[in-house]
């Protein structure tokens, strides 16, 4: 869904390290350095003598950071010293000018690399291209893989490390209170070079991630070929759904069908379990030649049973390939020696332990059981495991999927129709006509092979891309709902690239924040279609919906995190062992936080998400995004969404808690969601 952020992995060391926090000299994990301590001390002494005590802090930081990255091939100890003496910048005006020049050049480089990657992947991502086997090779090519390596060789990297100090997350948290915008931008430039990863390892990651993405983007189930135990077909012949997004959204849409909805949900759930267990016949993946009963796992063709082979653990082989490629980088990241630490401490800038504690506190909260009881009463039956996706709090739950699809397919018969309507959509969301048009002009709309994703630009002269799935008969409601989500990403990407004051502050603190904006947009999908809700309990329903969605996706994220811990404990595991571990972990998380609520144990459903396959450890961004979204929604209630989004996004890439304070006046927390949920529960109880 959020494929652009895979570039954080793919483009290279710049993107991997752009949110990093290498510890200061006194806190840094000791690493073997080619430059000896005596040379470092002498270099610092001579620089202080030359440039004065007022520059001591920058000199000590810069020299040590540069020495920690300098290798024998970069020059002798004496050449290191000469380099530092020749390239340290004392004059503040010159330093600012160099900062601007580096920023401009990085925008050019990153922007064009991003465009190359975008263009090379068009045959893999867009339905308007015929796809050939060579396209997979081009799509896996990483144009930025050698960039950091080249910048170390030509010494650009060392000029940056010498002159722009790197600060740990703890230091940013402590000292950032008094920093100016320029100080923050300098600090982000100081994050650029904190390790030296060989280019071939980055290319390996690109290959593994691209292969996994291709596997997922073509994993479709022909729903019209599913049959139940009575041989009955429940879905239209033409309905083809991508896993997991399409299957999940179809399941959610069935809450509005009081006649066949439950039966359809049960068969979808069986499909999901067959995928997780890799019992699914490989004949039915992206293939409509066979009828398939997922309850009995039998295939038929022309009324006769057909023997088959199950999918051979391919799903988990991609997890293994991603793990092995990313683990190779560990040896070159002494401050973040695992992909887990690089993802959370470095990229998210929230330690994994804190994220896990946040999530387990939430899913263990007493409000869970109370909301579950409300859902059970609304359904008039006992909860099923798939009710983790209960969608009945939304206003659309009372409108049939077909009715909504009739509206969206007529309104958006093709990508150009979506593109043409973007200014109108943004105007409805509170942007001025002028701003709505300027943002829309920076967003292209493309027909996606997959469920859809947003791909932002990396230079101001290029546009963001909204990839959305549009069938021959036009965009169905599922595609529209996803498209509004991805539009939220695109608008954030466009604002934070074009309206933030420093290029080094482009973006938001981490992917959870762009997910929050995507959720804000997605929540307003019916409103944008002109379908208004006059329910006086709208606020109460919104709170309960957010709570239940957060509860569901936190469990999925806990499975993802715990699987990666297991992978590091079992680095030689094969695909079969990874499958067994994934299913076991999913059941353990279910049994601990969900079984009592749903009244059934040992359910593997939390392992169904495709992100686990093609976007390693991305899933935590969603529950964090829900928490952020809730605080944003609370703050903007009664205010203009467009104006507030502009104000918040123009803060750029500060650390998460500073961004939250600037945006809504308080840090990220589960308390606002839990407190509001309890109020909603009490209100529901008082009505009965």
CATH assignment at residue 467: 3.40.390
Residues 6+ apart with CB under 8 A from 286: 218, 219, 220
CB-based contact 615:6 (threshold 8 Å)? yes
Same domain, 36 and 184: yes
Helix (H) or strand (E) holding 408: helix 401-411
Mind listing the pLDDT tens digit for each residue in 445-471?
A: 999 987 788 999 999 999 999 999 898
pLDDT tens digit sequence for 338-348: 999 999 999 99
SS3 600: coil
Please check whether residue 325 lies inside any domain of the structure: no
Is residue 238 a part of any domain in this protein? Answer: yes
How far is the C-alpha of 291 from the C-alpha of 229, rounded, in Å?
12
Token pair of 324 as six digits? 């092995």
Instruction: Tell whether 455 and 372 lie within a shared domain.
Output: no
- Which residues pair with residue 242 across a beta bridge? 220
pLDDT in tens, 146-194: 898 899 999 999 999 999 999 988 899 999 999 999 999 999 999 999 8
324 in any annotated domain: no
Tokens for 557?
A: 């994220």
- What is the mean predicted confidence (pLDDT) over 349-376? 97
> CA of 582: how far to CAs of 294, 598, 617, 635, in Å?
21, 21, 14, 39
Contact 125, 449 (CB under 8 A): yes
Among 285, 315, 345, which residue terminates a domain? 315
CA dihedral of residues 464, 470, 476, 482 (deg, nearest 10): -30
Q: Enter the pTM of the model.
A: 0.85
Q: How confident is the model at residue 17 (pLDDT cuts 50, 70, 90)?
A: very low
| Whether residue 512 is found in the same domain as residue 655 | no
386 and 418 fall within a common domain? no
Strand partners, 306: 299
Q: How far apart are CA 491 and CA 485, in angstroms?
A: 10
Examine the domain organization and report whether 374 and 277 are in the same domain: no
Residue at 65 is within a domain: yes
Closest CA to 40 of 74, 83, 89: 83
CA 285, 579, 619, 336 torsion: positive or negative? negative
| Domain shared by 18 and 119, yes or no | yes
Interhelix angle 433-440/477-498, rounded to 10 degrees, is 100
What pLDDT, on a 0 to 100 scale, did the predictor assign at position 30? 47
Choose between 450 and 297: higher pLDDT.
297
Max Cα-Cα span within the chain: 89
Q: Give the span between the Cα atoms of 412 and 430, in whole angstroms.
A: 22
Helical (H) or strand (E) element with 626: helix 621-636
Structure tokens at 521: 């947009």
Determine the pLDDT at residue 397.
56
Contact 44, 60 (CB under 8 A): yes
DSSP code of 414?
S
Give the residue from 315, 343, 375 where a domain finishes: 315
Q: Give yes or no: residues 387 and 404 share one domain.
A: no
Q: Average pLDDT, whole number, for the chain? A: 92
* Res 336: pLDDT: 87
d(CA 358, CA 352): 10
Same domain for 180 and 239: no
**Given this model, what pLDDT does residue 398 score?**
63
Its sign, for the CA torsion 104, 106, 111, 113, is positive
Total domains in the chain come to 4
441 and 355 within one domain? no
The span from the CA of 526 to the CA of 530, in Å, is 6
Contact 207, 140 (CB under 8 A): yes
Query: Is 326 part of any domain?
Result: no
- Please tell me whether residues 470 and 563 are part of one structural domain: no
566-599 pLDDT tens trace: 999 999 999 999 999 999 999 999 999 999 999 9
pLDDT tens track for 234-263: 999 989 999 999 999 999 999 988 899 999
Same domain, 550 and 631: yes
Expressed as residue numbers, the domain containing 553 is 334-393+534-686
CA neighbours within 13 Å on the CB side: how many for 555?
A: 28
User: What token pair was written down for 461?
Assistant: 């002269």
Is 11's pLDDT higher than 50? Answer: no
Asked whether residue 451 is assigned to any structural domain, the reply reads yes
475-498: average pLDDT = 95
378: which residues sit within 8 A by CB, 6+ positions away?
A: 392
Quote the Cα angle for 406-407-409, to 5°: 65
Which of 195, 209, 203, 208 has the alpha carbon at shortest distance from 331? 195
Question: Residue 29 has what pLDDT?
Answer: 45
Give mean pLDDT, residues 396-417: 87
Report the pLDDT value the prediction gives residue 142, as an integer from 0 to 100.
Answer: 85
| End position of a domain, from candidates 178, 208, 238 | 208
Residues 608 and 554 placed together within one structural domain of the fold:
yes
Say if 176 falls within a structural domain. yes
Residue whose structure tokens are 């024998």: 72
Place of tokens 């004065």: 52
* Position 322 in a domain: no
**Helices 77-87 and 156-163: angle between axes, nearest 10 degrees:** 60
């Amino acid at each position: 869904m959020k494929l652009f952020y895979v570039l954080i992995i793919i483009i290279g060391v710049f993107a991997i390290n752009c949110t990093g926090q290498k510890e200061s000299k006194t806190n840094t994990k000791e690493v073997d350095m080619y430059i000896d301590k005596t040379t470092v001390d002498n270099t610092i002494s001579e620089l202080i003598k030359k440039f004065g005590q007022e520059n001591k802090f920058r000199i000590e930081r810069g020299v040590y950071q540069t020495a920690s990255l300098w290798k024998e091939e970069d020059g002798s100890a004496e050449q290191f010293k000469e380099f530092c003496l020749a390239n340290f910048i004392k004059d503040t005006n010159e330093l600012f000018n160099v900062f601007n020049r580096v920023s401009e050049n990085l925008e050019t480089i990153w922007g064009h690399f991003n465009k190359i990657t975008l263009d090379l992947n068009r045959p893999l991502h867009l339905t308007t291209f015929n796809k050939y086997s060579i396209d997979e090779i081009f799509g896996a090519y990483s144009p930025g893989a050698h960039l950091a390596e080249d910048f170390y060789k030509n010494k650009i990297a060392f000029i940056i490390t010498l002159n722009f100090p790197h600060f740990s997350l703890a230091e940013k948290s402590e000292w950032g209170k008094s920093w100016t915008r320029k100080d923050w931008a300098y600090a982000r430039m100081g994050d650029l070079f904190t390790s030296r990863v060989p280019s071939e390892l980055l290319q390996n990651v690109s290959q593994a991630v691209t292969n996994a993405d291709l596997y997922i983007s073509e994993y479709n189930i022909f729903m019209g070929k599913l049959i139940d135990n009575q041989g009955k077909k429940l879905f239209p012949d033409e309905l083809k759904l991508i896993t997991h997004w399409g299957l999940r959204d179809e399941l959610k849409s069935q809450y509005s069908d009081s006649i066949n909805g439950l039966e359809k949900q049960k068969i979808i759930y069986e499909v999901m379990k067959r995928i997780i267990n890799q019992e699914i016949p490989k004949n039915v993946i992206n293939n409509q030649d066979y009828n398939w009963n997922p309850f009995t796992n039998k295939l038929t063709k022309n009324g006769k049973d057909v023997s088959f082979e199950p999918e051979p653990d391919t799903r988990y082989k991609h997890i293994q390939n991603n793990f092995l490629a990313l683990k190779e980088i560990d040896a070159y990241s002494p401050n973040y020696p695992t992909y887990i630490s690089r993802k959370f401490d470095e990229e998210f800038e929230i330690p994994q332990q804190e994220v896990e504690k946040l999530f387990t506190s939430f899913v263990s909260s007493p409000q869970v059981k109370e909301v579950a009881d409300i859902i059970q009463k609304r359904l008039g039956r006992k909860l099923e495991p798939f009710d983790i996706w209960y969608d009945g709090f939304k206003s659309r739950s009372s409108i049939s999927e077909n009715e909504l699809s009739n509206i969206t397919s007529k309104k958006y018969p093709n990508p150009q129709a979506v593109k043409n309507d973007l200014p109108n959509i943004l105007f409805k969301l509170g942007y001025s006509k002028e701003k709505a048009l300027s943002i829309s002009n920076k967003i292209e709309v493309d027909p996606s092979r997959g469920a859809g994703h947003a791909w932002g630009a990396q230079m101001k002269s290029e546009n963001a891309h909204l990839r959305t799935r549009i069938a021959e008969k036009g965009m169905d409601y599922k595609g529209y709902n996803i498209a509004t989500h991805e539009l939220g990403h695109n608008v954030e990407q466009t604002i934070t690239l074009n309206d933030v004051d420093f290029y080094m502050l482009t973006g938001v603190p981490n992917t959870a924040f762009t997910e929050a904006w995507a959720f804000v947009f997605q929540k307003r999908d019916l409103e944008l279609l002109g379908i208004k809700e006059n329910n006086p309990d709208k606020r109460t329903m919104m709170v309960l919906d957010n709570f239940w969605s957060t509860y569901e996706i936190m469990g999925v994220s806990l499975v993802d995190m715990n699987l990666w811990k297991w992978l590091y404990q079992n680095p030689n595991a094969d695909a079969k062992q990874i499958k067994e571990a994934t299913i076991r972990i999913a059941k353990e998380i279910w049994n601990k936080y969900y079984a009592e609520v749903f009244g059934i144990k040992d359910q593997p459903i939390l392992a169904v998400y495709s992100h686990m396959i093609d976007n390693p450890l991305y899933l935590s961004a969603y529950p964090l995004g829900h928490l952020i979204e809730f605080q944003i929604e609370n703050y903007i209630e009664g205010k203009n969404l467009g104006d507030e989004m502009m104000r918040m996004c123009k803060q750029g890439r500060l650390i998460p808690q500073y961004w939250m304070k600037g945006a809504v006046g308080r840090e990220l927390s589960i308390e606002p969601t839990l407190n509001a949920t309890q109020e909603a529960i009490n209100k529901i109880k008082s009505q009965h």
